Amino acid sequence: MAKALTKQQHLDLYYYMRLNRAVEDTMVKLFRQNKIVGGLYSSLGQEAVSVGTAFALEKKDWLAPMIRNIGALLVKGVPPRDVFMQHMAKYDSPTKGKDGTSHFGDLDNLHIVSPISMLGDLIPVMTGVAMAGRYLGQKIVAMTWIGDGGSSTGVFHEGLNFAATQKAPFVLVLENNLWAYSTPVKRQVPVENLADRAKAYGVKSFIVDGNDVAAVYTTGKEAVELARNGEGPILIEAKTFRRMGHAQHDPAEYVPPDMKKYWEERDPIARHEKFLFREKLLDEKGKKEIEAKINALLEKERDFAENSPFPPAEFAEHGVYCTGDDCHKIRAKWERPVSEVTPPKSSVSAVWTVQGFGAGKGSGGGSAPIHFGDTEKHEHKEVAAVSNNGAKSAVKKSAKPAKKTAIARKAGR
């Protein structure tokens, strides 16, 4: 387990959750003033998930937010004005008015990949980010989020499976807020714990109380470090609740009132605040200071956003294609010797090495398929083999998997 949090970490988590909520409260006001062009989505009550998991990342790591992860963007360093301007379709926004909401990214500095509205697509994309980071020797971790609803998409499964076969340094946070628009999770997914799906891909998973920010951070940190050390991908299921409707237009009358009440009593900010007061990490004075700091910041940020113009109409036709070096200088950042991935060092024998193959009793050590081989009494010599992720590794002794094979076979009869 990760170490206990420092006072500063506890306070930072509190600050970012408060900032997350204040940014969204400000946007509700802007929405009611008709200053937000499109829809507005809320992460009320889910701030601990966004903030806690993103807080576990290092500066060099990559993330891709979903619609309810403004908290993660703030932790990564996005100024609130960018979030406001995105929603207000302003020319100074990260997408210069071409897209709204949390649909923006930053490849060069903050390492953020923009989401699209179709759910699940980020999972293979961030798997590719993770693979490229490893390939370049950057030792980064990639993280994205998915909801309980989004976990029903095909690409969720394709992506997680591919990440697993690649052992990608990738962390997927499954934010189970119990509702996919108006459909409760039980009608979407017939399993108790969505984390169980990780088993199907041979992926390690965690379940965490998504309204306990310290627990979310600690779990996130452990997952990030495991992924960084080659044990990825990791799936974290954070159990939480979506307290507002799908978006501003939706009063969410389909949610039972008792359920709302239950989760309101478990508000992640109030809960963490109570903890901070009890542990004497924060007092009324400190709380007032944080509130004043956030209010002053947001006032400034909101002013800037409101004063930014809409993009000029003809800007609509600009930027479909990269025109070359004048547009983007694409340079990979190598942090390992290039000679490792170029001949002669990169050259290999192009054959599969299949663990345990050919050692089975029934096969006479010959060429029986691995499924039928009883390898209990035969042990391989340790030979150098090349695994799929490029690392030279030794074939493990076959005793363990052999046992499993034998048991499985008996059970099957």
Partner 1 sequence: MAAKGGTQVNFLDAIKQAMFEEMERDPTVVLLGEDVGVYGGAFKTSEGLLAKFGWERVIDTPISESAIIGAACGMSYLGLRPIAEMQFIDFIVCAFNQITNFVAKGHYLWDAPAPMVIRGPAGGGVHGGPFHSANPEMYFVHTPGLKVIYPSTPYDAKGLLKAAIRDNNPVLFFEHKFLYRRIKEDIPEGDYVVPIGKAAVRREGKHLTIVSYAAMMHTSLEAAEELANEGIEAEVIDLRTLLPLDSDAIVESVKKTNRCLVVHEDTKTGGIAGEISAILCERAFGHLDGPLTRVTALDTPVPYAPTLEDYFLPNKEKVVQAARELARY
Q: Which residues bind partner 1 (CB under 8 A)?
A: 94-95, 98-99, 103-105, 107, 113-114, 116-118, 121, 123-133, 135-136, 138, 142, 154-155, 158-159, 161-162, 165-166, 319-324, 327-328, 330-333, 338, 341-343, 345-352, 386-390
Give me the least distance between CB of 330 and partner 1, in Å please: 5
Give me the least distance between CB of 109 and partner 1, in Å please: 12
Give me the least distance between CB of 62 and partner 1, in Å please: 8
- Beta strands 384-386 and 392-394 are antiparallel
Q: Is 405 helix (H, G, I), strand (E, B) or coil?
A: helix
Q: How many helices (H) and strands (E) does the chain have?
A: 12, 9
Give the whole-angstrom CA distance, residue 175 versus residue 225: 20
Give the whole-angstrom CA distance, residue 385 versus residue 341: 17
Peptide bond into 344 cis (omega under 30): yes
Give the whole-angstrom CA distance, residue 383 versus residue 125: 35
Cβ closest to partner 1, residue 262 vs residue 334: 334
Cβ closest to partner 1, residue 80 vs residue 133: 133
Cβ closest to partner 1, residue 183 vs residue 346: 346
Cβ closest to partner 1, residue 140 vs residue 269: 140
Q: Cβ contacts of residue 331 below 8 Å, gap of 6+? A: none
Q: Is 258 exposed, middle or buried (0-12, 13-18, 19+ CB in 10 A)?
A: exposed
**Single-letter residue type at 42:** S
Give me the least distance between CB of 281 and partner 1, in Å please: 38
What is the CB neighbour count within 10 angstroms for residue 120?
23
Residue with tokens 């701030």: 47
Give me the least distance between CB of 368 and partner 1, in Å please: 20
Cβ closest to partner 1, residue 19 vs residue 160: 160
Give which of 373, 348, 372, 345 is closest to 359, Cα–Cα.
373
Cβ closest to partner 1, residue 300 vs residue 328: 328
- Count of residues making up the chain: 413
**Single-letter residue type at 51:** V
What is the CB neighbour count within 10 angstroms for residue 322?
10
Q: Could you tell me which residues are beta bridge partners of residue 385?
A: 393
Give me the least distance between CB of 301 and partner 1, in Å please: 20
Give me the least distance between CB of 380 and partner 1, in Å please: 20
Cβ closest to partner 1, residue 4 vs residue 350: 350
| Cβ(47)–Cβ(269) below 8 Å | yes
Cβ closest to partner 1, residue 254 vs residue 334: 334
Give me the least distance between CB of 41 and partner 1, in Å please: 18
Give which of 56, 249, 26 is closest to 171, Cα–Cα.
56
Give me the least distance between CB of 124 and partner 1, in Å please: 3
Cβ closest to partner 1, residue 274 vs residue 345: 345
Give me the least distance between CB of 343 and partner 1, in Å please: 6
What is the CB neighbour count within 10 angstroms for residue 2?
14
Cβ closest to partner 1, residue 158 vs residue 250: 158
Give the whole-angstrom CA distance, residue 146 versus residue 149: 8
